[in-house]
Amino acid sequence: MALLGDEQIAQHLQKTPHWKRLGKEITRTVQFNNFREALAFVVHVGLLAEKMNHHPYIAIHYKTVILNLATHSEGGLTEKDFEMAKAIDAII
């Protein structure tokens, strides 16, 4: 899987507007009403990640979930990251 260039990343970010570039990753923060909802979302993302074989960095801070995506084996962003971002967006 090939790393994406800056122009390709910018094009993908236009299609995934809730995600922002953070160095060699993309990130999204999602707010929930309470911890239970945040945890349920994280479990759903975890199952999705297993299915797609692409595992994000996930941090839970009470009712806030922070997700970071990168293809670590490639050292940056690939198509796989944006596929995962779109799949996550679909369950929010």
CATH number at residue 27: 3.30.1360.20
Instruction: Answer for the pair 20, 28: CB distance below 8 angstroms, yes or no.
Output: yes
Edge-to-edge strands, sheet with 64-69: 20-22, 25-31, 64-69, 57-61
The per-residue pLDDT for range 46-87, each reduced to its tens digit, is 999 999 999 999 999 999 999 999 999 999 999 999 999 999
Q: Give the domain extent around 44.
A: 6-91
The count of domains in the chain is: 1
Specify if 40 maps to a domain. Answer: yes
User: What is the pTM for the complete model shown?
Assistant: 0.95
Specify if 1 maps to a domain. Answer: no
**pLDDT greater than 90 at residue 8:** yes
Residues 6+ apart with CB under 8 A from 24: 70, 75, 76, 77
The per-residue pLDDT for range 30-57, each reduced to its tens digit, is 999 999 999 999 999 999 999 999 999 9
